[in-house]
Amino acid sequence: MSGLLLKNIRPFGGAATNILIRDGRIASIGSGEPENVKVEDGNGAIAIPGFVEAHAHLDKSLWGMGWHAHQAGPTLEDKISTERRLRRELDIDPRRQSARQVALAASHGTTAIRSHVDVDTDQKLWCFEGVAETRQHFRDVVDMEIVAFPQSGMMIRPGTLELMDAALAAGADVVGGLDPCGIDRDPKGQLDAVFGLAEKHGKPIDIHLHEPDALGAFSLELIIERTRALGMRGKVTVSHAFCLGMTDRLRVNALVEQLAREDIAIATTAPAGWPAPAADELRRAGVRLCAGSDGIRDTWGPYGNLDMLERALFIGLRNNFRNDSDVEYALHVCTQGGADVLKLESYGLHEGAHADLVLIDAETIPEAVAARPKRKLVLKRGQPIARDGQALITVE
Amino acid sequence: MSGLLLKNIRPFGGAATNILIRDGRIASIGSGEPENVKVEDGNGAIAIPGFVEAHAHLDKSLWGMGWHAHQAGPTLEDKISTERRLRRELDIDPRRQSARQVALAASHGTTAIRSHVDVDTDQKLWCFEGVAETRQHFRDVVDMEIVAFPQSGMMIRPGTLELMDAALAAGADVVGGLDPCGIDRDPKGQLDAVFGLAEKHGKPIDIHLHEPDALGAFSLELIIERTRALGMRGKVTVSHAFCLGMTDRLRVNALVEQLAREDIAIATTAPAGWPAPAADELRRAGVRLCAGSDGIRDTWGPYGNLDMLERALFIGLRNNFRNDSDVEYALHVCTQGGADVLKLESYGLHEGAHADLVLIDAETIPEAVAARPKRKLVLKRGQPIARDGQALITVE
């Protein structure tokens, strides 16, 4: 027997058909039922491409380590310093914890992940190396991009820039950054350094920008200017971008127009508690939008589960999406939207695409988003990695 | 055998103990293990009192009726008129649908519900009568309050006031109202009528107030004035109150102070996509706060599942609650907070209280909120109404 036939499945909730998978790719889609292949009956389940988790922190989750009582202070700096202290105290081992996150993500249907990984003068490359080990170990389960992320600041912690440089030389895929005003107090210095690393290593950029209102708009302008000046069109992502949720719509519209012009992507968690980019505005302007879970039950907070179908719900709720086509767009952000940002090759449900896909028992995509049933089957390159909500891989 | 012993359970996530239930009430809490009682081993599960769903619309859900493609226009009026048309077209039978909602709520651990029920010149008392029939049929499963709710407006639809009066005479528990400016275009007229009905029938009030910013603040002032003038302190609830999420903090603070003075309660869904009252501000001011699911997969939108543990998550996310004590407060809003608004007698986990309780497998309350496991066991007056996430009652 060669190949796997997914029988009676409905791509994107459409008409029932069969998908034949050979050599890890979709060989054909249609009513045919070739002989001598393994058959999996979908019983009318919806098929979608694997979820793309475009903003995670796999190195810092406390998943599986017992409950941690959250008591960090209210500021970003409180949470950063609390985390730095607790990493070693609690033994938050990046390799073990990232492996657990891969299993958790797989159980929910995620087949590609962009993970930020802390690089600082305390941890040095410990987090990067642990997550890189997980990436290698589970390379058949998930496509993983690693962002070298200066969580504790770069300019305010001398030595961090050199560690970032080392992480990128050692295989980190993306240059990270963080609140150039709010954390580093030196927006020109930090952004010149970040873009400098990107030029040196020929790698894309993904910058956390929590700064709100006019402050975030200022930092975003600096990012746009450098993207244009250095010819990095299409290679920069801004995560969170809370400033795009500010009340000054004229200012936001002007920023969105420039984001579209430089093809700068936005990654969102669709937060309920912060101003956030309006998905619809970005869609209309042609700005690529992807989504992610951010932290998963870490020292920053108790929430999160790496379930991108739940994230689609959060996008829907945050944006007041009610009509079917809007809710379908929320799911699109969590699948194709992520693939467009990570630039995944051969992604989707078409002949020749990688057979990374998810079966979900639901009548329609919006019902799947609203009800979030356990994933019936998750395939990575045609191989089952989860079934009935349970990952089929073993981790500590 | 007389009585039920819940063995090895942890009230509110505290130390393990046993709860003895006799005659539908908590007879004792302690390490004792009396003989000749039925025993249920909780295996260390958390015990909390039954959830209180304080804002639902049991008459309008499409649950179990197949997927309905949502295409209503963007305004509140669009959704109201679309719903009025579809009620009969789709046969959204209030009796059948409210019974399904009771089973769904029970499966998630809800033991008390306040449901708004549409009263208008098209449906007349059809919705009220259907839900009242469900209330009677399932009186051993859930304590249900019915709000006579003029969904389509009262002043703009002559005849509605008389129907409201009839519903209240026929057993509706609470007088409802809706956006006195936005929908009825006559705030004085509507609110005088609503408070008049409350006086006449000696019943409390629960008014939907979606109106944002200064408009909502104006309507809220009119509600406060009438509450004070008519001596209705403690008998008025305002649902949604989006205006309390407006950016003018001075204005909000003044309103909150008056709400506290008149003991006017707030019901929230903790919406991600609208400005909303800040739970923490209300808590500090001593304003009673309860929560609800609002519509459940109805013609208004695809979301909702009557899971108040998920609602606690939404409260946490909406309010940026991260520390354990804050997340515990989010759960409190969905339990005791609702009981304080519905004025449920003998509610809680103390000797003499009604044995309405939920067992949840989790280490702590915040973990329960973050992970939302299936409810292990739900008791109403000491009788199991759901187990392992499945309601034990039968509906069409």
Contact between B148 and B161 under an 8 Å Cβ cutoff? The reply is no
Do residues A288 and A231 both lie within one domain? yes
pLDDT of residue B348: 98
Distances (CA, A) of B174 to A159, A207, B205, B215, B342: 65, 52, 5, 25, 10
Q: Do B302 and A71 touch (CB under 8 A)?
A: no
Which positions of chain A have pLDDT values less than 70?
Answer: 1
Q: Is B38 helix (H, G, I), strand (E, B) or coil?
A: strand
- Mean pLDDT, range B171-188, rounded to an integer: 97
CA distances from A128 to A149, A180, A394, B387 (A): 9, 22, 22, 44
Instruction: Give percent of chain B with pLDDT exceeding 70.
Output: 100
pLDDT value, residue B1: 56
Residue A315 forms part of a structural domain: yes
Strand positions, DSSP E, chain B = 4-11, 17-22, 25-30, 38-49, 51-56, 110-118, 143-149, 174-178, 205-209, 236-240, 265-268, 289-291, 357-360, 377-380, 383-387, 390-391
Gyration radius from chain A CA atoms: 21
B185 and B228 housed in the same domain: yes
- The residues, any chain, with a CB within 8 Å of residue B386's CB and separated by 6 or more, are B106, B107, B108, B109, B375, B377, B378, B392
Closest by CA position to A166, among listed A206, A121, A136, A135: A121
Answer yes or no: do A33 and A157 share one domain. no
- Pair of tokens at residue A363: 């009548």
Tell whether A396 is covered by a domain: no
Question: A247, A298, A323: which to substitute to probe chain B, counting the most B Cβ within 10 Å?
Answer: A323
- Cβ contacts of B66 on chain A, cutoff 8 Å: 363
CB atoms inside a 10 Å sphere around CB A366? 30
Of A302, A319, A366, the CB nearest to B366: A302
> Does residue B255 fall inside a structural domain?
yes
Whether A70 and B323 lie within 8 Å, measured CB to CB: yes
Count how many residues are written for chain A.
Answer: 396
Same domain (yes/no): A169, A39? no
Question: Domain end: B325, B342, B359, which one?
Answer: B342
B73 forms bridges with which residues in the sheet?
Answer: none
Structure tokens at A28: 């054909």
Cα distance from B67 to chain A (closest Cα, Å)? 7
A370–B304 C-beta distance less than 8 A: yes
**Residue B72: its pLDDT value, please?**
81
Chain A residue numbers touching B316 (CB-CB < 8 A): 302-303
Which of B303, B317, B367 has its CB closest to that of A273?
B317
- Judged by CB atoms closer than 8 Å, whether chains meet at B69 and A364 is answered as yes
C-alpha to C-alpha distance for A227 and A232, rounded to whole angstroms: 5
User: Does any domain span residue B113?
Assistant: yes
> Crossing angle of helices B213-229/B187-201, nearest 10°?
30
Q: Which residues pair with A289 in a beta bridge?
A: A266
Q: Are residues B44 and B112 in the same domain?
A: no
The reply to whether B36 and B61 lie within a common domain is no
- Cα A288–chain centre separation: 13
Domain count, chain B: 2
- Can you give the CATH number for the domain in which A355 is found? 2.30.40.10
Q: What is the pLDDT of residue B2?
A: 79
Q: Which residues of B touch A104 (CB under 8 A)?
A: none
Residues of B contacting chain A (CB within 8 angstroms): 66-67, 69-72, 247, 270-274, 297, 300-305, 313-314, 316-320, 322-324, 327, 363-364, 366-367, 369-371
Per the listing, tokens 């400016």 go with B181
- Tokens found for residue B8: 């090895």
Crossing angle between the packed helical segments B324-332 and B308-318, to the nearest 10 degrees: 130
In a domain, B393, yes or no: no
Q: What residues form DSSP beta bridges with A387?
A: A377, A390
Spell out which residues of chain A touch residue B300, defining contact as CB-CB under 8 Å.
Answer: 322
**SS3 of B98, please?**
helix
pLDDT digits (tens, 9 = 90+) for B265-315: 999 999 999 999 999 999 999 999 999 999 999 999 999 999 999 999 999
Angle, helices A187-201 vs A160-169, to 10°: value is: 20
- Say yes or no for a CB contact (<8 Å) between B69 and A324: yes
Helix (H) or strand (E) holding B279: helix B279-285
User: Do B253 and B309 fall within a single domain?
Assistant: yes
Q: Which of B303, B319, B369 sits opposite A317 (nearest CB)?
A: B303
A325-355: string of b/e by CB count within 10 Å (b at 16+)? Answer: ebbbbbbbbbbbbbbbbbebeebbbeeebbb
Whether A18 contacts A11, CB under 8 Å: no
CA–CA gap between residue B259 and residue B233 (Å, rounded): 10
Look at residue A1 in the predicted model and tell me its pLDDT.
Answer: 56
Is the sign of the CA dihedral A355, A358, A361, A367 positive or negative?
negative
Nearest-CA distance A101 → chain B (Å): 15
Residue pairs spanning A and B at CB distance below 8 A:
96
Q: Are residues A114 and A12 in the same domain?
A: no
Residue type, B136: Q
Look-up of token digits 């996150």? A101
Question: For B40, what's the count of Cα atoms within 13 Å in the CB-facing half-sphere?
Answer: 21
- Both B354 and B379 in a single domain? yes
Contacting residues of A for B247, CB less than 8 Å apart? 247
Q: Name the H helices within B71-159.
A: 76-89, 94-107, 126-137
Same-domain check for residues B127 and B235: yes
Domain that holds residue A13: 4-49+348-389
Q: Are strands B17-22 and B25-30 parallel, antiparallel or unpaired?
A: antiparallel
What 3-state DSSP class applies to B154?
coil
Token pair for residue A204? 């894309």
> HEC profile for chain A?
CCCEEEEEEEECCCCCEEEEEECCEEEEEECCCCCCCEEEEEEEEEEEECEEEEEECCCCECCCCCCCCCCCCCCHHHHHHHHHHHHHHCCCCHHHHHHHHHHHHHHCCEEEEEEEEECECCCECHHHHHHHHHHHHCCCCCEEEEEEECCCCCCCCCCHHHHHHHHHHCCCCEEEEECCCCCCCCHHHHHHHHHHHHHHHCCCEEEEECCCHHHHHHHHHHHHHHHHHCCCCCCEEEEECHHHHCCCHHHHHHHHHHHHHCCCEEEECCCCCCCCCCHHHHHHHCCCEEECCECCCECCECCCCCCHHHHHHHHHHHCCCCCHHHHHHHHHHHCHHHHHHHCCCCCCCCCCCECCEEEECCCCHHHHHHHCCCCCEEEECCEEEEECCEECCCCC
Residue A391 in contact with residue A107, Cβ under 8 Å?
Answer: yes
Across the interface, which of A71, A273, A324 has its CB nearest the CB of B70?
A: A324
Nearest to B292 by CA among B135, B390, B145: B145
CA distance A36 to A2: 7
Pairing of strands B4-11, A383-387: unpaired
Residue in chain A closest to B70 (alpha carbons) equals: A323
In a domain, A160, yes or no: yes
The residues that bridge with B301 in the sheet, in sequence order, are: B298
Question: Which residue of chain A has the CA closest to B321?
Answer: A301
CA-nearest residue to A297 within chain B is: B370
Domain check: are B294 and B228 in the same one? yes
What CATH number is attached to the domain comprising B71?
A: 3.20.20.140
Which of B273, B316, B370 is opposite residue A297, by nearest beta carbon?
Answer: B370
Same domain, B370 and B321: no
Q: Does A70 contact B305 at a Cβ distance shorter than 8 Å?
A: no
Asked if the structure places residue B395 within a domain, the reply is no
Tell me how close the Cα of B324 comes to any Cα of chain A, in angstroms: 5
CA-to-CA dists, residue B269 to A80, B56, B153, angstroms = 31, 10, 22
B66-96 pLDDT, tens digit per residue, is 998 988 888 888 889 899 889 989 999 999 9
Task: Give domain status of residue B396, yes or no.
Answer: no
Q: Which residues contact B14 (CB under 8 A, 6 or more apart)?
A: none
Reported confidence tier of residue B206, pLDDT bands at 50, 70, 90: very high
Distance CA B147, CA B128 (A): 9
Spell out which residues of chain B touch residue A323, defining contact as CB-CB under 8 Å. 70-72
Residues B36-40 have a mean pLDDT of 95
| Token pair for A100 | 């657990």
Cross-chain residue pair A322–B301, CB shorter than 8 Å: yes
Question: Is A371 in contact with B305 (Cβ distance < 8 A)?
Answer: yes
Residue A274 corresponds to which amino acid? W
